Amino acid sequence: MTVDQLLFGYDDGHGLLAGSRTLSPPQLREVLPHTDASFERPDERELVGIWIPSLDGYLLARIWAAPERPRAGAVWAHALLLGAQQLRTRNLGNLLALLRRPTDERLEGYAERLVWRRSPAPTLGAAALTRAIVWTALDTANRPGVVLWDQPPDAEGALVALLAALPPEAREQLSFRTRARARVGAPSYRLQVASSLSGARGAPDERVCDARKPPPATPPAWTTLLEDSPAAARLRDFVQRYGSEHARTGAHVAALVAIACLLDLGAEPHRVVRRLLQAFPRLDEVPELRRSLLGPAERADDLWQIDEETRLALLCGHPTHFDIVGLELEQRISGLARSHPEAALRIVERARWPSRPAAA
């Protein structure tokens, strides 16, 4: 597979110097702010990831200071542009290896599409940083947030790994930037990783998480999403399987990983269903997960082991939140009534079913 690349830098102003595709003036205006930076030290760099609507693609760019250029404050920015289908279908963990800083003035190799090969995934960095990134990016209130860390470039691997771990529909919504100083109060990105803050503080619609300090509360179990462990791998598989079409926000993904953790812990069934309905109240959302949880027990997968009576009782308790026709509620109650009439009667009475099935 190949991927488009763009190189930005100083040429009578910050602009596009080379690339495998041309950009129109409106597209350039949308992209340029995400490829420019103001550095205090020559060894600084930033990583940016954001969906660009006018390009129908996701921009992943690394920005470096360019002290060798003729203008003070000039920068280099090498960007990859992933098409919508590439963003949805590809393992993204090896993209960072494609980003490279120019080594001379010839700018060779930036005008053709890059070959995108499988390569080792980047390291994630410290566990405290990685968990803070997951916790902040998947904020249940969908607030933008800042993670504080002394060396923001340490977050690059975790940010791209998180993008890859998200279900396809949610990837477009994750925008991030590493920088020395985060701009609080008017964020252009869902998540910033920075060593310090600037701007107004304490905005109610923005979250700040200082990963250098012990967390103020115990992080949720699902913040281990990116770890290299069997439990974390199960969380990622769960998110991809059940969230591929309907998980579109960080809050949706947080709900899915929370449900997966509840199932792992053997939580009471009503707790699992309540968490599902809080995040996905419509009966047409995450239909496969709804079927896996409350479909017929004899066709159940390995999500949990609950009997048919419990499944039917939960369905009867939430008739407007589940497709009771597609899940064959009445037929299943009638079937239960033939083998366990007392159980079927308990379900009907508990739910105050408006018209009791004849077999019950």
pLDDT > 70? residue 351: no
Give the domain range for residue 2.
1-120
pLDDT at 203: 56
Tell me if 18 is assigned to some domain: yes
With 0-12 CB in 10 A as exposed, 13-18 as middle and 19+ as buried, what is 56?
A: exposed
**How many independent structural domains does the chain possess?**
1
Pairing of strands 2-10, 114-115: antiparallel
- Assigned domain for 181 exists: no
**Which position has the higher pLDDT, 200 or 92?**
92
| Mean per-residue pLDDT over the chain, rounded | 88
Q: In the prediction, which pLDDT does 346 show?
A: 84
Residue 82 has pLDDT above 90, yes or no: yes
Distance CA 325, CA 148 (A): 50
- In this prediction, residue 128 carries a pLDDT of 95
Predicted local confidence at residue 352, as pLDDT: 55
3-state secondary structure the chain: CEEEEEEEEECCCEEEEEECCCCCHHHHHHHHHHCCCCCCCCCCEEEEEEEEHHHCEEEEEEEEECCCCCCCCCEEEEEEEEEHHHHHHCCCCCHHHHCCCCCCCCCCCCCCCEECCCCCCCCCCCHHHHHHHHHHHCCCCCCCEEEECCCHHHHHHHHHHHHHHCCHHHHCCCCEEEEEEEEECCCCCCEEEEEEEEECCCCCCCEEEECCCCCCCCCCHHHHCCCCCHHHHHHHHHHHHHHCCCCCCHHHHHHHHHHHHHHHHCCCHHHHHHHHHHHCCCCCCCHHHHHHHHCCHHHCCCCCCCCHHHHHHHHHHCCCCCCCCCCCHHHHHHHHHHHCHHHHHHHHHHHCCCCCCCCC
Residue 160, domain member (yes or no): no
Q: What is the pLDDT of residues 205-248, one digit of tens each?
A: 788 999 999 988 889 999 999 999 999 999 999 999 999 888 99
**pLDDT tens digits for range 102-156:** 987 788 889 999 998 877 677 788 999 999 999 999 988 888 999 999 999 999 9
Tell me if 175 is assigned to some domain.
no
Q: Is residue 16 part of a domain?
A: yes
pLDDT at 323 over 70: yes
Determine the pLDDT at residue 360: 34
Asked, for residue 21, whether it belongs to a domain, the answer is yes
93 within a domain of the structure (yes/no): yes
Q: What is the pTM of this model?
A: 0.89
Label residue 356 by pLDDT band (50, 70, 90).
very low
> What is the mean predicted confidence (pLDDT) over 178-193?
88
Query: In this prediction, what percent of the chain has a pLDDT beyond 70?
Result: 94
Question: Quick check: 358 pLDDT over 80?
Answer: no
The values of phi and psi at residue 6, to 5°, are -140, 140
pLDDT number for residue 355: 43
The residue-averaged pLDDT of 52-64 equals: 95
Q: What is the mean pLDDT of residues 306-321?
A: 90
Do the domain assignments include residue 64?
yes
